[in-house]
Structure 1
Amino acid sequence: MKRKVLTMWAAFLAGWGSMGFAQSVYPGQYEEKFNVKTCVPMAAECFDLQDVRLLPSRFRENMERDSAWMVSIATDRLLHSFRTTAGVYAGREGGYMTVKKLGGWESLDCELRGHTTGHLLSAYALMYAATGSEVFRLKGDSLVSGLAEVQQAHGNGYLSAFPEELINRNIRATSVWAPWYTLHKIFSGLIDQYVYADNRQAFEVAKKMGDWAYAKLKPLSEETRRKMIRNEFGGINESFYNLYALTGDERYRWLARFFYHNEVIDPLKEGRDELGTKHTNTFIPKVLAEARRYELEGNTESKSLSMFFWDTMLRRHTFAPGCSSDKEHYFDPAQFSKHISGYTGETCCTYNMLKLSRHLFCWDASPQVADYYERALYNHILGQQDTRTGMVAYFLPLLSGAHKVYSTPENSFWCCVGSGFESHAKYAESIYYHDGEGLFVNLFIPSVLDWKEKGMKVRQETRFPASETTVLTLSMAEPVRTTFRLRYPSWSKDVQVRVNGKRVKVRQQPGSYIAIEREWKDGDRIEATYPMHLTLESAPDNPHRAALLYGPVVLAGALGTEGMLPPAPDSDPSKYNDYYTYDYHIPEGLPTGLKWDAGHPENSVQRISEDGLRFRTADGVTVLPLYDVHRQRYVVYWDIVDN
């Protein structure tokens, strides 16, 4: 991505922010489109997408870079493989069109081609709902129109960038990559286009796809079903649950249940961690479908297994930045340190864990869920994107001396590129929640909330995490009695809260919410200061391997660029597409040791910048937030030397 393109779009997009994606419940105007509503009580509800705007911050900068990249991709290039497969590529106005083909996972010889188009349908819908900018609506409309043409050419409701024979191979249980995974992305994108951008054509295309799937799968035997779903299918069952909720059509619920993976889900019902060495991102979406099932059907087993899985992930299978997996797979937690590798933290896993966390928070309003959300959002998702180019990383490597490996604008299109388009468009989705009594303030991100139900606007201004203080300023026409619940993070203590300059006594403990109930008036101001401290988080199997944190922020030692290969030009993407076996050429003797004085951490690591988070170890290594370390080597899990 050329810098001038990024600059142009950053300027165009200045002045507006991003909203979130109502994953667990579809509130307000979006819920009106659903024939089957959520049937279980919710402890918290999310806001409509247009109700929150990001103010200037690193989050909005990332969002603007994401916007620039997604808008720069020509619609005809995204549709090329769909049209070629359907035989409708020729005969365009003016004769044959010469379209520069996309590379990487979108190339014509890749069995996963088409998944990026699905992700972008979702991302365009999110951005349109968040901004009202017509460019995102038009991009989505043009994609949907092209896909409808392709579907019509197939004649049976089928729609994909690859031929239906890949589905047939899956049904026969013969070798094929993951065709239903790709269809899941397309289904989700079409549904998002309808829900958030009100694209009725997208809804019709999705229903025809659902009709095709029902006709295709209904005649199959149970033996065939069990064999075919051993192949990765993403969250296709979640999409079918959502299509069922939109339409009330029982055929789509049948399809959702068809993809219930007994071998994976049944042990979770019994509270058994049998994750073994399974593929992590194949696993998480199956639980997401169960979470959606609980909301639509009230199935308490689905709720219990979802919560058990989430808790198991955090206790046993999650690294300090909130990410999981080594080379995309689970591993024995008893050998945790052996798996601190250059291939940890597949970004799609964190993307899906945040979606699951959103479900769980709506159910129980747990501050522990909010703590995890913050940890993973700051340390992994925010840091996935290269601040210079807008490109994104597949893995978050935690091997000492490794570095992030970024995508290219036209020749990567990995799964984590697709989920990245969405992730960087929806930073604001979990800043605020509400219930019948008041407001939850979960994240300390500069933003403005328009709480229409109360006739109140809440403006949050902060430099967190560089600063410990966040300020909420309220504006309204008439006084409003309600409760503000300020999250009291588990990483802080001795929090100070002031309302209009007067100190409020805080009786709550870390890992809870500070509740302030009163009649609020225009101009009222809430100021909360959350002291942050340096801490170590040890590897479960080795107390002498540990990550360094400041509050919720994982700090990384900057180790320079010795031996690093220059960034691969997009015309020669082979080096940078080798993300799975990438050779980091780590030089010997890098300073990865940390002398630690447990009683006085400030003697071990000193802050050297008041304006930003910049530290230095006793041995002279500069330490920065992991999300700020780009294009150089780093260390996250230090070799701890007790002082």
Structure 2
Amino acid sequence: MKKIAGMMLACLAGWGGVCAQSVYPGKFEGKFKVENSVPMAAECFDLSDVRLLPSRFRENMERDSAWMVSIEVNQLLHSFRTTAGVYAGREGGYMTVKKLGGWESLDCELRGHITGHLLSAYSLMYAATGGEVFRLKGDSLVSGLAEVQQTNGNGYLSAYPEELINRNIRGTSVWAPWYTLHKIFSGLIDQYLYADNRQALDVVKRMGDWAYAKLKPLSEETRRKMIRNEFGGINESFYNLYALTGDERYRWLARFFYHDEVIDPLKEGRDELGTKHTNTFIPKVLAEARNYELDGSEESRSLSKFFWNTMIDRHTFAPGCSSDKEHYFDPAQFSKHLSGYTGETCCTYNMLKLSRHLFCWDASSRVADYYERALYNHILGQQDPATGMVAYFLPLLSGSHKVYSTPDRSFWCCVGSGFESHAKYAEGIYYHNEEGVFVNLFIPSVLHWREKGITLRQETCFPESETTSLIVSVDSPTRAKLFLRYPLWSGKVEVKVNGKRIRVGQKPGSYITLDKEWREGDCVEVTYPMHFSLETTPDDSSRAALLYGPIVLAGELGTEGMQAPAPDSDPLKYNDYYTYNYHIPEGLPVSLKWDEKHPENSVKRISDSTLRFCTADGVTISPLYDVHRQRYVVYWNVELKTYSDEK
């Protein structure tokens, strides 16, 4: 793995540009036959227009790229070929392929989903870096899948036999076949959009034709019974395929998967999430968001916004994640669900996707605030910096720890979404409208706004530093606006343009607008003061997470009693992560004495270059995204007291 990482670092060193298209939701020039029918307050930049500068984000992306390149195409195609029977006559034969484990095992009904995720991830990484290796891997994978599809003969394409779909239609027990197909559909569409792979579009259209022939004859009773099973965001994929082709059959398929029992209450503004499976739910709303953009359905817009607000206000933990053992729970019992199985990463991955839709509709700073919270505290911290492996859950049980995947034996859904998430950090930093650029995230990066001839270089050490700088380059003097996010967590902001302080009339939770003619070398400096805050659970004011600005801080609790898995084991095969025993020792220091008037008396910073602090009881505190391979506490037992009054 280290050798591969070194090779990838060399490959990415140039960060060359490619002509990739813009990210969802947005316009891919010349590729969509059906354009968005509603106005957008903001649009996405092409992923190829943004390059990450050295930072923790780029380090994560480089580790992600090394891992995804290390997986052989023949390994990813193995189960597809085996099911279709296309191994006969191949040089080297069946036994030369090292089989993948976990959910990609030949006895798992979800096999093939990781191939779909990697189709997306290769194309995203190609757009984000210009690395030719990612395009070549994607091309080889699409070519192999096309061969399998041709062998099947009817357009069907999966790593499991079509009988699993038949079982779903009959209503008999099966894991989630349409969920896996959704990942393959999405991956092929992404290959076409981001890597310009025309064969991928041909393959996914044939898959759509097969699906239409399969589902069109079914009765309404059969449809309702069938969609009770998890189907991911297959309807979102069909909406996108409809937009690409203009073929009404694909829109019919998208609407076929409309889940009445789940979506109808949202239309009426009712939170009836109950104990439903969270990541089964979110993709269904993503499809409704896409329906609004294509069809202008105000019902779809309204329910999408209601759902997003309900999630943020009632069902989201401090790090921006949701779910306990993958399910919703009663918010009135919030503190009782701080378990070792909170925060399924796929849920956050999908909430960030939904947030991007909503931001494009309204350019809401509240949406951008959530995006930042979830990106830093969950997604960034999902990856173990020592190995590049990722966690399925973000445990919030005090004394628990992150449990990581293995390179080829634990291909869970959160491994797949992780491949994508760590490839596309650049997509949420900047947006634009006709007047100017929104600066949403404070991540070192370079933006090339080619249509306007403007380049922005953002230099910052945020969140270790409160200041970010934007250096402007222009082909010629150009008038445009800069919309600088003024986060809700910030104190009184300070803005300087070319060293001159600018009066700021806006308040936190808005955008600061700089409107001027920009010239070569202009520099904007923005300082966002950060403060401590406690975020209590809704049902217990004595249980609280500690934040510094938007960053969730975790108390480091050491490694006592932690179990080290055997080097070649698959410790969390299938569902074992649900019952993983953290062996939490007694007496861990999980209480926090808190001076409400003077937080500096409760927590002191012990490093100028990093966000490391120490409590009055001597517990070291760091950003949750930096706490790995040890136990931690996020939700403290808080003892509120004004210690300064006793002095």
CA distance, structure 1, for counterparts of residue 239 and residue 227 of structure 2: 17
1:250-261 equivalence runs, <5 A? 250-261=248-259
User: 2:570 — aligned with what?
Assistant: 573
Q: Which amino acid aligns with 1:572?
A: S
| Equivalent residue for 2:533, pick from 529, 532, 535 | 535
User: Retained in 2: the 8 A contact 1:481–1:519?
Assistant: yes
- Output the CA distance in 1 between the equivalents of 2:51 and 2:180: 31
Q: Give yes or no for contact 1:77–1:102 (8 Å, CA) kept in 2.
A: yes
Q: Aligned letter for 2:469?
A: V
Task: Name the SS for the 2:423 alignment partner.
Answer: coil
Match of 2:516 in 1: 518
Question: What's the offset of the Cα at 1:133?
Answer: 1.6
Query: In the TM superposition, what is the alpha-carbon distance from 1:364 to its structure 2 partner?
Result: 0.2
* Displacement of 1:432: 0.4
When structure 1 is superposed on structure 2, of 540-549 and 572-581 the one drifting more is: 572-581
Quote the residue 1:506 is aligned against.
504
In structure 2, do the counterparts of structure 1 residues 136 and 575 end up closer, same or farther at CA, with 3 Å as the change threshold?
Answer: closer
Report the CA distance shift for 1:420/1:547 in structure 2 as closer, same or farther (over 3 A): same
- Equivalent residue, structure 2, for 1:200: 198
- SS at 2:577's partner residue? coil
Counting only pairs closer than 5 Å after superposition, residues 374-453 of structure 1 correspond to structure 2 as 374-453=372-451
Deviation at 1:13, TM superposition (A): 1.9
Match of 1:158 in 2: 156
Pairs within 5 Å for 1:446-465: 446-465=444-463
Q: 1:327 maps to what in 2? A: 325
5 Å matches for 1:269-308? 269-308=267-306
Matches of 2:253 and 2:231, distance apart in 1: 13
Alignment of 1:237 onto 2:235 = yes
Asked if 1 retains the 8 angstrom alpha-carbon contact of 2:565 and 2:571, the reply is no
State the 1:575 CA deviation: 5.0
Residue correspondence of structure 1 range 467-616 to structure 2 within 5 A:
467-569=465-567, 571-574=568-571, 578-616=576-614
Aligned to 2:4: 5
Moved over 6 A (4+): 17-21
In the alignment, what sits opposite 1:111?
A: 109
The corresponding residue for 2:15 is 16
The alpha-carbon distance between structure 1 residues 166 and 406, as it changes in their structure 2 partners (threshold 3 A), is: same
- The 5 A counterparts of 1:54-73 are 54-73=52-71
What CA deviation, in whole Å up to 9, does each residue of 1:546-595 have, x standing for no partner?
Answer: 000000000000000000011442x2113576211100000000000000
Normalised by the length of structure 2, the TM-score is 0.97
Give 1:235 deviation, angstroms: 0.2
Secondary structure in 1 aligned to 2:317?
coil
How many angstroms apart in 2 are the aligned matches of 1:51 and 1:380? 25
Q: What residue is the counterpart of 2:644 in the other structure?
A: none
1:321 is matched by which residue type in structure 2? P
* Structure 1 residue 34: Cα displacement: 0.3
- Correspondence for 2:645: none
1:531 Cα deviation from its structure 2 partner:
0.2
Name the aligned partner's letter for residue 574 of structure 1. P
Query: Contact conserved, 1:17 with 1:60, CA < 8 A, in 2?
Result: no
Measure how far apart 1:642 and its partner are.
1.2
Distance across 2 between alignment mates of 1:54 and 1:288: 27
Partner of 1:41: 39
How far apart, CA to CA, are the structure 1 residues paired with 2:585 and 2:484? 46
* 2:59 partner amino acid: E
Partner of 1:312: 310
Give yes or no for contact 1:184–1:233 (8 Å, CA) kept in 2.
yes
User: Secondary structure at 2:96's aligned position in 1?
Assistant: coil
Residue 607 of structure 1 and its aligned partner are, at CA, apart by 0.7
Note if contact 1:18-1:52 (Cα within 8 Å) is conserved in structure 2: no
* Structure 1, gaps ≥5 residues long: none
Point out the more displaced range, 6-15 or 62-71. Answer: 6-15
The TM-score with structure 1 as length reference comes to: 0.98
Gaps of 5+ in 2: 642-647
Deviation at 1:21, TM superposition (A): 8.7
Moved more, 477-486 or 322-331: 477-486
CA distance in 1, matches of 2:338, 2:94: 51
Give the secondary structure class of the aligned counterpart of 1:560: coil
Letter in structure 2 aligned against 1:6: A
Counterpart in the other structure of 2:145: 147
Where 2:272 maps in the other structure, the secondary structure is coil
Shift of 1:22: 4.8
- Matched residue count: 639
> Could you report, residue by residue, the CA deviation over 1:387-418 in whole angstroms, capped at 9, with x for unpaired residues?
00000000000000000000000100000000
Instruction: Determine if contact 1:568/1:575 at 8 Å carries over to the other structure.
Output: no
- Distance in 1, matches of 2:16 and 2:427, equals 11
For 1:257 and 1:476, locate their aligned partners in 2 and report how far apart those are by CA, in whole Å. Answer: 46
Contact 1:126 1:196 in 2 (8 A): yes
Moved more, 271-280 or 434-443: 434-443
Residue 120 (structure 2) aligns with: 122
Q: For the aligned residues, what is the CA RMSD? A: 1.3
State which of 84, 87, 96 in structure 2 corresponds to 1:98: 96
Change in CA separation of 1:488 and 1:505 when aligned onto 2, cut-off 3 Å: same
Contact 2:21–2:193 (Cα < 8 Å) also in 1: no
Contact preservation (8 Å) 2:16, 2:130: no
Paired with 2:452 and 2:203, the residues of 1 have a C-alpha distance of 38
- The residue type paired with residue 473 of structure 1 is I
Task: Compute the displacement of 1:452 (Å).
Answer: 0.8
Matches of 2:13 and 2:621 in 1, distance apart? 31
Alignment check: 8 A CA contact 2:410 2:572 kept = no
Indicate how the Cα distance of structure 1 residues 579 and 568 shifts in structure 2: closer, same or farther if over 3 A, else same: farther
Cα pair distance change 1:557/1:174, threshold 3 Å: same
SS in 2 for 1:574: coil
C-alpha distance in structure 1 between counterparts of 2:473 and 2:565, whole Å: 48
Task: Mark the CA change 1:17 to 1:301 in structure 2 (over 3 Å): closer, same or farther.
Answer: farther
Shift of 1:130: 1.8
* Counterparts of 2:131 and 2:500, CA distance in 1: 41
Deviations 1:49-81 (A, max 9, x none): 110000000000000000000000000000000
Q: Is the 8 A contact 1:21 1:126 kept in 2?
A: no
Distance in 2 (CA, whole Å) between partners of 1:184 and 1:95 is 30
